Structure 1
Amino acid sequence: MAKFGENFPQLRYRSPFWQNFLSGLTIAFTADSAGGGQPDSAKISTRLNACLNSIWVLSSALGSVVLHTIGPGITAFLGVAGYIVYVGGLWYLSETGKAAFPYFSSVCIGISAGLIFVTSGYIMLSYPEEKEKGLYVTTGFGLLAGGEIIGGIIPLLIARNNDSDGGVPNAVYITFIVIMCLTAIAGLFILPPNKINRDDGSGVAEIKYRGLWVELKSNISSLMDVRLLIMIPCFLPAETYLVYLGSSNAFHNNLRTRCLLSFMSVVLQIPFSIILQKIFDHTAWKRKTRALAGLAYVAVPLCAAWIWEMVRVSKYDRHNPPTPTDWTDDGFAGIFVLFMLNWISSTLWQYVIMYFLGTLTNDPIKGSHYAGGFRACLAAGESVVFGLDSLEIPYVKEAGIIFAFYFAGILIYAYMALFVVEETRYFQEENVVVPAHVLEETGHVREMPVVEGESTPEGSVDVMAKKE
């Protein structure tokens, strides 16, 4: 496992770790767009999110085809660009209350969201060695949390003396747009895997463009993988907590309290994610043990949080909101603890998903397809909950639906950890260049080099043979 200090990955532009770091930066400063609008435009914002998530389903499912057609750098650039347009749409909505441009911007971000998350997801899944899967996932999502911290502290500082329940100041939109423009430029520096090499000199993969039709067929074939299909109930609730907690937070708390809760949740998420990474990359344990231990670490507080949440909101009347709670009010401590527990455990659920996906493949092509399938299902689940929330169904029912999918997902991952997860995927797939030290440890050698211009239906192959 890569560690800080002596064994930490070398600081090289063409290092897979630092390419993962760069892709993490692109999602860090895009995924936490400024929310808001006028106080009476909350329903419009909810419908915008339902619209963008519906488009996000398709762009995620096909994002890997775009990725392997134009490359990860341009794909990441286009992914960030849509977020810039979307923040501009929210700013316009905040100023005018008119929804025409915001609806157009929601289409743009729906397309872009699939592109940016497929890019980062396939790098998290496919660039690391098997012993580093947790490190890459934690780094990518940790940077996302860091971006959310920056995105949260800006409105928190601006609104710290404002105890109203009003919208977002213009300074927040301007700041986000400037940051995202810089992020889009950074995305252009993301390299394809055949231009990257590990610290021991090994490559990551040898992949050549195979044509649009072949890429599309490969994508569909990967999405029909039975192992991926049984994980759909795990994928669906992965970001529904953002919808639910955002809605209930706005219903119950004033502006500065909402900002404080959002800010502190992503700050505390980071140390808990580091613990999860140590579990997933604990090489003294077998892979099945690591998968089960990591699942338990997340599943126990996740179940406790959602059961507590259903009890808390069981008597809430969405048509009769209470006086907004301030962080100085009695009872805020309980609200704070539950929000932290719910947010952190729900966020770490995505880490679990990415780790389990990473146990299925080391192939960047399959990894991109799996990342797209996950994001498509995530977007579908989020879109449905946005729609339910716009109908103002009781919070206890909304929380109950989300919890039911989480619980089903826990059972599925327990099954996979016991019966599906393998100790290694090396030597079982095409496209993968096995690290040099793994070849030495297992007694394998390269029997034949990659021949320029030749490819199989799955791409160019680095063929391995067992030493006599």
Structure 2
Amino acid sequence: MGFEGVEESGGTEVPQSKFRYNSPFVQVSLIGFVCFCCPGMFNALSGMGGGGQVDPTASNNASTALYTTFAVFGILGGGIYNILGPRLTLLSACSTYVLYAGSFLYYNHHKHQAFAVVAGAILGIGAGLLWVGQGAIMTSYPPPNRKGTYISLFWSIFNMGGVIGGLIPFVLNYHRSEAASVNDATYIGFMIFMSIGTLLTLAILPPSKVVRDDGTKCTDIQYSNVTTEAIEIVKLFINWKMLLIVPAAWSSNFFYTYQFNNVNKIMFNLRTRGFNNVFYWGAQMLGSVVIGHIMDFSFKSRRMRGFAGISVVGVIGTAIWIGGLANQLNYSRGDLPEKLDFKDSGSAFAGPFVLYFSFGLLDAMFQSMVYWIIGALADDSEILSRYVGFYKGIQSAGAAVAWQVDTRKASFLAQLVTNFALNTVSYPLLVVLILLAVKDEGKTDVEEFTMEKVAEPAASGK
């Protein structure tokens, strides 16, 4: 029996619609909705600054624990995903998000941070597994020439979770303009969405059952063993392709601490932070669509599309960080600004709001660009899961350091300059990676593909 929307003729599956259940479009959309409900809501919670609390210490320590275990299980996640497959990996991963949101509901009443820190460490394990699985699906299921489009599809759905998640604290705390911490209903709302996301993981198909629109199948996971995966993971640390990605990976979550705690939390009151997050994650949707189009359609040559993407992100990113520097010179840890309100602060609100919106735009463009580059390095699901795992592991190690840097009261200016420098160093290294490791989709590739298609019937005696 074939899947719905797929005809079988002589053992050959002929796809009828991209909306069929086993299409890359539907499967990438499903993982998008899973992330909409789980990390999307987590992002909204983190974006409040301090986990929605007055004192960010508990949130910072929980985030440090989270990203420490995330760093380890991000790197190990590729191997675990290759052993367990998508459903079991994602189901176990998403269940940890509900626990984390619940820990802050507990903290709202008891002010004991131990539960939040332990829940953060457990979530780090789950997040490592989830993001490796997500990355493998997003980069290996789509056809090679449309990976940017599918990355933007995922990123748009996922970040709609941040938009809705930003609306939850905004609406529930709208009349509490003087409040400093969010109410119980905010955390309960997050937990409901996270529970739905956990159940949605059961709808994800393994690569062997996914058929692209051109009739080709994804490379299946061979359900590896522990020894093989351990060896392959160790090899990543001496893989020159992965070493070139390290600065980009380290920087790509490092800036969240500065943006959430030292811009959104410091500059705006509680209800405005929720309002800002709606637009921060909305900007991510816009940014992913823009960069996805550039990476897939700007030039015929895949390499040129990669270079174009890096150039656009580099120019926009530099302009945004310069704007951040101009804003940061107006306040410091010893000279905090008066809290801004979106409704009452008038024109003083506009500049910082546009800056925070721009940070969201840059985040999506930068990460979508890096995912596209990783996806261009290979088509094999097993290899890509390891590459994504390495990227997420290094990314999380950087985030763990960033949260502790803020906890130890490093100056806001020093944090901004560090973020600016890390982003800037990444661009030329990614150019080198594309130059040396990304193959163009040239005439030779087309001829080889045609010969393979012609040879298939002959090999089967037809």
Give the alignment's TM-score, normalised by structure 2: 0.88
CA distance in structure 2 between the aligned counterparts of 1:274 and 1:37, rounded to whole angstroms? 29
Give the Cα–Cα distance (whole angstroms) in 1 for the partners of residues 90 and 300 of structure 2: 36
Tell me what 1:120 maps to: 134
Structure 2 matches for 1:391-402, cutoff 5 A? 391-402=408-419
| C-alpha displacement of 1:9 | 5.7
Deviation at 1:416, TM superposition (A): 2.8
- Distance in structure 2 (CA, Å) of the matches to 1:128 and 1:408: 30
Task: Indicate whether 1:63 and 2:71 are aligned.
Answer: no
Give unmatched runs, 5+ long, in structure 1: 1-6, 429-437, 450-463
For residue 417 of structure 1, report the CA deviation from its aligned partner: 3.4
1:358 is aligned to 2:366? no
Helix, strand or coil at the partner of 1:41: coil
Is residue 187 of structure 1 aligned with residue 195 of structure 2? Answer: no
Which of 359, 363, 366 pairs up with 1:346?
Answer: 363
How has the CA–CA distance of structure 1 residues 275 and 176 changed in structure 2, closer, same or farther, with 3 Å as cutoff?
A: same
Unmatched tracts of structure 2, length 5 or more: 1-14
Per-residue CA deviation, residues 129-172 of structure 1 (Å, 9 max, x unaligned), is 11111012111211111111111111111222322251111111
Q: In 2, Cα distance between the equivalents of 1:161 and 1:15?
A: 45
Check whether the contact 1:37–1:94 (CA below 8 A) recurs between aligned residues: no
1:295 aligns with 2:310: yes
Q: What is the distance in 1 between the residues matched to 2:212 and 2:364? A: 30
- What is the deviation of 1:92? 0.8
Equivalence for 1:106: 120
RMSD: 2.5
For residues 66-465 of structure 1, what are the structure 2 equivalents within 5 Å? 66-248=80-262, 249-282=264-297, 284-327=299-342, 328-329=344-345, 330-424=347-441, 442-445=450-453
Q: Whose helix fraction is larger, Structure 1's or Structure 2's?
A: 2
Query: Which amino acid in the other structure matches residue 414 of structure 1?
Result: V
Deviation of 1:442 after TM superposition, in Å, equals 3.2
Distance 1:110 1:425, change over 3 A: farther
Percent identical: 26
Aligned residue pair count: 436
1:299 partner amino acid: G
Matched, 1:53 2:70: no
Distance 1:165 1:391 in 2: 26
Q: Aligned partner of 2:357: which letter?
A: M
Residue in structure 1 matching 2:37, options 29, 35, 41: 29
- Give, in whole Å, the separation in 2 of the partners of 1:80 and 1:439: 43
Amino acid at match of 1:276: I
Give the direction of change, closer, same or farther, for the CA distance of 1:406–1:283 in structure 2 (3 Å limit).
closer
The aligned amino acid for 1:382 is A
What displacement does 1:42 show?
1.4
Deviation at 1:424, TM superposition (A): 4.2
Q: What is the CA–CA distance in structure 1 between the aligned matches of 2:78 and 2:58, rounded to whole Å?
A: 31
SS of 1:321 mapped into structure 2: coil
Question: Residues 78 and 70 from structure 1, CA distance in 2 versus in 1: closer, same or farther, beyond 3 angstroms?
Answer: same
Classify the secondary structure of the residue corresponding to 2:96: helix
Deviation at residue 223 of structure 1 after TM alignment: 4.7
Give 1:15's match in structure 2, choosing from 23, 40, 43. Answer: 23
Cα displacement (A) at 1:275: 2.1
Which one-letter code corresponds to 1:27 in the other structure?
C
Match of 1:458 in 2: none
Distance 1:104 1:427, change over 3 A: farther
Alpha-carbon distance between aligned partners in 2 of 1:419 and 1:274, rounded to the nearest angstrom: 27
**CA apart distance, 1:208:** 2.1
Report the CA distance shift for 1:170/1:426 in structure 2 as closer, same or farther (over 3 A). Answer: farther
- What secondary structure does 2:18 align onto? coil
1 CA distance for matches of 2:442 and 2:119?
41
SS in 2 for 1:230: helix
| CA contact 2:73–2:393 (8 Å) conserved in 1 | yes
Q: Do the aligned residues in 1 keep the contact of 2:169 with 2:274 (CA within 8 Å)?
A: yes
Letter in 1 for 2:223: Y
* Amino acid aligned to 2:185: A
Paired amino acid for 1:23: I
Displacement of 1:39 after TM fit? Answer: 4.3
Cα distance per residue 1:66-103 (max 9 Å; x no partner): 11222111111111111111011111111211112112
Instruction: Name the CA distance, whole Å, in 1 between partners of 2:272 and 2:54.
Output: 19
Q: What do residues 241-260 of structure 1 show as CA deviations (whole Å, max 9, x unaligned)?
A: 22111112111211122111
AA partner of residue 153 (structure 2): T
